[in-house]
Structure 1
Amino acid sequence: MTNLPKRIYLPVPLEVERVGKIVLDAAFKVHTVLGPGLLESVYGIAMKHVIEKGGTLVETEVKLPIMFEGAELESALRLDMFVAKCVIAELKSVEKMNPVYEAQLITYLRLSGVRLGFLINFNVPHLKDGIKRIIV
């Protein structure tokens, strides 16, 4: 048995949880109206519309720079949705989720310093089966 220090997990702030609920509510509304089988970009446009209509800031295709040896490098990393500057949503419309999608979201969360993210696959009959909540 190793004597590794235990990680201390702080709760996600209530405001971040509130924004997370806004993201999920928008995803369920969009999926209910449009159903599965469309392109990821269509769901992204619809989600942005629903979230902004509710008065919450949404940024799409946000470039995520990488810090390397003290320099900020421009990268090809882009967040699908950055909501209220505190929640990342990565949208998919795929037959089967690949573990690399989850790893990608975890990387985005760590690089950005954001704690809460959602991986949302719209190509499922019941959206609850296509949502993965990730906290770092």
Structure 2
Amino acid sequence: MITQQSLNQLTFEIIGAAIEVHKILGKGLLESVYHKCMIEELKIRKINFKSEFKVPFNYKGNNVDVDFRCDLFIEDLLIVELKAVSDILPIHDAQLLTYMKLLSAPKGILINFNSNNIFREGQKTLVNDLFKNLPK
């Protein structure tokens, strides 16, 4: 059974993986490089995930091709969007919240590898009502 506590622990593990990648690579590379290295780090840590898959979108019973691509979907519970940008913008939050809603994910993490410190400034965690309704 998934709980807020278990999802928080998974979040901690994912941020730890991002810190490890950042520790080795530093900042200044393209997002695609960090993405490939995150995939390797998740494999090393034996964390189940899907990468860069098309997010389904349905409108009035019809599949609509909106070309949404989720960077990482961890354990079918947690969305991870990777960035290598100067600043996280509101549009990045909106992207993450959209994927969380469409995939019924209670939690999401934005990770910006173009930061000096992933833990302090390079990540942002968002939750929705699904998370709030999970047992503690």
Same fold? TM cut 0.5: yes
Q: Point out 4+ residue stretches in structure 1 off by more than 4 angstroms.
A: none
1:122 maps onto 2:110 in alignment: no
Aligned counterpart for 1:53 among listed residues 41, 44, 57: 44
**1:53-87: CA deviation from partner (whole Å, max 9, x where unpaired):** 11111211111111100223233001011111111
What is the correspondence of 1:75-114 to structure 2 with a 5 Å cutoff?
75-114=66-105
The sequence identity of aligned pairs, in percent, is: 33
Larger radius of gyration: 1
Which structure 1 segments of 5+ residues have no match?
1-10
Counterpart in the other structure of 1:70? 61
TM-score calculated relative to the size of structure 1 = 0.86
| Structure with more relative contact order (C-alpha pairs < 8 Å, separation 6 or more) | 2
Give the Cα–Cα distance (whole angstroms) in 2 for the partners of residues 50 and 104 of structure 1: 24
Give the Cα–Cα distance (whole angstroms) in 2 for the partners of residues 45 and 55 of structure 1: 15
Offset at 1:48?
1.0
- Note the aligned Cα RMSD (angstroms): 1.5
Aligned residues: 126
Q: 1:130 is matched by which residue type in structure 2?
A: G
Instruction: Say if 1:97 and 1:47 are closer, same or farther in 2 by CA, change over 3 A.
Output: same
Instruction: Answer with 49-58 or 12-21: which moved more.
Output: 12-21
Give the Cα–Cα distance (whole angstroms) in 2 for the partners of residues 68 and 119 of structure 1: 27
Give the Cα–Cα distance (whole angstroms) in 2 for the partners of residues 100 and 74 of structure 1: 20
Offset at 1:22?
1.8
Aligned partners of 1:12 and 1:116 also within 8 Å: no
Counterpart in the other structure of 1:7? none
Aligned counterpart for 1:135 among listed residues 117, 124, 127: 127
